[in-house]
Amino acid sequence: MKEEIIIAGFGGQGVLSMGKILAYSGVMQGQEVSWIPSYGPEMRGGTANVTVILSDRKISSPVLQEFDTGIVLNQQSLDKFEDSIKAGGTLLYDPNGITHPPHRTDLDIYTIDAAVEAARSGNAKVFNMFVLGAFLRIKPLVTIENVIEGLRHSLPERAHKMIPANEAALRRGMELVRKSEQHG
């Protein structure tokens, strides 16, 4: 098993932390993992992206030019990364704010209404957990128990009281994910 994932969106959408939770879940699952963000001025409110690799073998390059899965959370990221997904790969996106939907016909495309659900739930902080739940429904690379373990390890002690809300969001994301029918 080897899954190469790009997660991209606005800074502040929890892109990096979602990648970190996914990577930590992989550690809990006994996998090899790497997490590498783009960093720099774009950290300050612009777009953010992180490459996460989960593998059962030693990971050679943490830097990649193409991915098995793209998880994109805004239009810029979709424009930037849609063509970087391998043929037959997976694209998961939040349609909120997307004016130019994906054009690829050789991908499995899924949507998750995470922004809408986050607004409805009144807890914007778990936005990225809806997305992660959706991804894990599509690709059950790690168990939900190991995600919780990952959260326990990656969140500071004082934030542990947030874990139940995160778990609920994960499960809700699993229910909300939809296969896109765009390309019929």
Partner 1 sequence: MEDIKLMKGNEVLAHAAVRCGVDGYFGYPITPQSEVLETLSELRPWKTTGMVVLQAESEVASINMVYGGASVGKRVMTSTSSPGLSLMCEGLSYLAGAELPCVVIDVSRGGPGLGTIQASQADYFQVVKGGGHGDYRMPVLAPNSVQEMNDFVDLAFELAFKYLNPVVILADGVIGQMMEKVRLSPQKPRRTEAQIREECPWAALGKGSGPMQRKERNIVTSCYIDPETMERHNHKLQEKYDRMERDEVRVEEMETADAEYILVAYGASSRICAKVVEDARAEGLRVGLIRPITLFPFPAATIRRAAEHAKGFLSVELSMGQMIEDVRMAIGNAAMPVRHFGRTGGIIHSPREVYDALKQLMTETGGLQ
Site map (CB under 8 A) of partner 1, residues 131-170, x = contact: ----------------------xx----------------
Residue type at 43 in one-letter notation: M
Q: Does 1 bind partner 1 (CB under 8 A)?
A: no
Taking the complex as a whole, the smallest distance from the CB of residue 183 to partner 1 amounts, in Å, to 27
| Contacting residue, 11, 17, 36, 75, with partner 1 by CB under 8 A | 36
Q: Could you write out the DSSP letters of every residue in 129-143? A: HHHHHHHHHH---S-
Q: Does 129 bind partner 1 (CB under 8 A)?
A: no
47-55 and 32-37 strand pairing: antiparallel
| Contacting residue, 7, 13, 15, 34, with partner 1 by CB under 8 A | 34
Q: Does 65 bind partner 1 (CB under 8 A)?
A: yes
Closest CA to 86 of 108, 61, 102, 101: 108
Residue closer to partner 1 (CB basis): 66 or 108: 66
Taking the complex as a whole, the smallest distance from the CB of residue 20 to partner 1 amounts, in Å, to 7
Residue closer to partner 1 (CB basis): 59 or 165: 59
Q: Does 83 bind partner 1 (CB under 8 A)?
A: no
- 3-class state of residue 10 by DSSP: strand
Closest CA to 127 of 113, 137, 136, 114: 114
CA distance 109 to 118: 21
178-179 and 108-111 strand pairing: antiparallel
Where are the extended beta strands (E) located within 60-167?
A: 67-72, 85-93, 108-111
| Contacting residue, 45, 46, 62, 97, with partner 1 by CB under 8 A | 62
Q: Which residues bind partner 1 (CB under 8 A)?
A: 20, 23-24, 27, 32-37, 39-40, 59-66, 153-154
